[in-house]
Amino acid sequence: MSTSEPAAPVQVIAVHDISPSLRRVTLRAPDGRAPSPISPAAHCHLFFPEARETAVDFETRLNTRSGPPGRVFTYRRIHTDGSFDVDFVRHAGEGPAARWLRRARPGTVIGHRGPGRGKLDPSAVGEGGLFILADMTALPAALSLLENAPRRRDVQAIISVRHSHDDVALPASVRSSVWLIAERPGALIGALRTRTLPAKITLFAACEAAEMRMLRRYALDELGLDRSQVVTSGYWKRGLTAEQVDRAKRKPDWLGDLVG
């Protein structure tokens, strides 16, 4: 996906809560064409209308300079009719995605641009297998990697969840490979410290940016993994909007090499 590629309208087909913290939104383009090609954990940009904006006004504004704000999400599943699921974390922040999610209804139109490639190619996973660390924003990416990893590779995941019943979002096929822990700052690194990992492991960590940095530092400095074995991505940053994160990344003192 190129950032110069225009966004296109997609319609909300269905909205339902799949766990206490996750709301699934099913979207479809007017021509029913599915996003493609899709790599595991592929992402898209979604653009959200204002509360009382009509679909016509929104579509007129979609690819203009004063266009609607975009946020990055992961394709959870593409259906045979071309529709696709996106699993949103319901959070209390006042961002455009979170605000829109509270009022999302079938029939609403939003903007979509994608797909963008996932950051990890499962076929490149080392002999020691794949170890995934994710919070709920990266649960769709983690599940995609778990479902698409080569059979001969061992894949395990530690996922931090917000609610004790969020386990219902896990398909039965991956349950034996996933450990759920309660989300709180430092939870993922705490869980990682209790593990002994094989030398030729590939580590994928995607979560809140400060947490991700701790995981990356630990993997490189304390576990002694090579940079090629460690794929990390900050999916959101506590206290900052996505625009503020983008602006901060352009400053020279931002630790850009640590944030995907």
Ligand X SMILES: Cc1cc2nc3c(=O)[nH]c(=O)nc-3n(C[C@H](O)[C@H](O)[C@H](O)COP(=O)(O)OP(=O)(O)OC[C@H]3O[C@@H](n4cnc5c(N)ncnc54)[C@H](O)[C@@H]3O)c2cc1C
Site map 92..121 versus ligand X, x via CB under 6 A: -xxxxxx-----------------------
Pairing of strands 202-208, 230-236: parallel
Residues in the chain: 260
Report the residue from 8, 197, 237, 248 that binds ligand X according to the rule CB under 6 A: 237
We find the least distance from the C-beta atom of residue 197 to ligand X, in angstroms, to be 24
We find the least distance from the C-beta atom of residue 234 to ligand X, in angstroms, to be 7
* One-character DSSP codes across 154-192: -EEEEEEESSTTGGGGS-GGGGGGEEEEE--TTHHHHHH
Distance, CA of 230 to CA of 215 (rounded, Å): 10
Task: Kindly state whether residue 85 participates in binding ligand X, applying the rule CB under 6 A.
Answer: no
What sign does the dihedral 17-18-23-27 (CA atoms) show?
A: negative
Q: Residue 147 phi/psi, 5° resolution?
A: -80, -20
Given a contact cutoff of 8 angstroms between Cβ atoms, the answer to whether 215 and 186 are in contact is: no
**In angstroms, what is the C-alpha Rg of the chain?**
18
We find the least distance from the C-beta atom of residue 177 to ligand X, in angstroms, to be 20
Q: Which stretch binds ligand X (CB under 6 A): 4-12, 77-85, 177-185, 238-246?
A: 238-246
Distance, CA of 50 to CA of 195 (rounded, Å): 46
We find the least distance from the C-beta atom of residue 211 to ligand X, in angstroms, to be 12
* One-character DSSP codes across 25-36: EEEE-TT-PPP-
Given a contact cutoff of 8 angstroms between Cβ atoms, the answer to whether 172 and 179 are in contact is: no
97 or 157, CB closer to ligand X?
Answer: 97
We find the least distance from the C-beta atom of residue 159 to ligand X, in angstroms, to be 13
Task: Kindly state whether residue 84 participates in binding ligand X, applying the rule CB under 6 A.
Answer: no
Report the residue from 61, 91, 213, 217 that binds ligand X according to the rule CB under 6 A: 91
Site map 118..147 versus ligand X, x via CB under 6 A: -------------------x--x-------
Q: Which stretch binds ligand X (CB under 6 A): 24-32, 59-67, 85-93, 182-190?
A: 85-93
Task: Kindly state whether residue 227 participates in binding ligand X, applying the rule CB under 6 A.
Answer: no
Can you name the residues that pair with 40 across neighbouring β-strands? none
Report the residue from 87, 166, 183, 211 that binds ligand X according to the rule CB under 6 A: 87
Q: How far is CA 119 from CA 8, 42, 112, 197, 206, in A?
A: 23, 8, 19, 21, 10
* Residues at the site binding ligand X, with contacts judged by CB under 6 A: 43, 71-74, 86-89, 91, 93-98, 137, 140, 233, 235-242
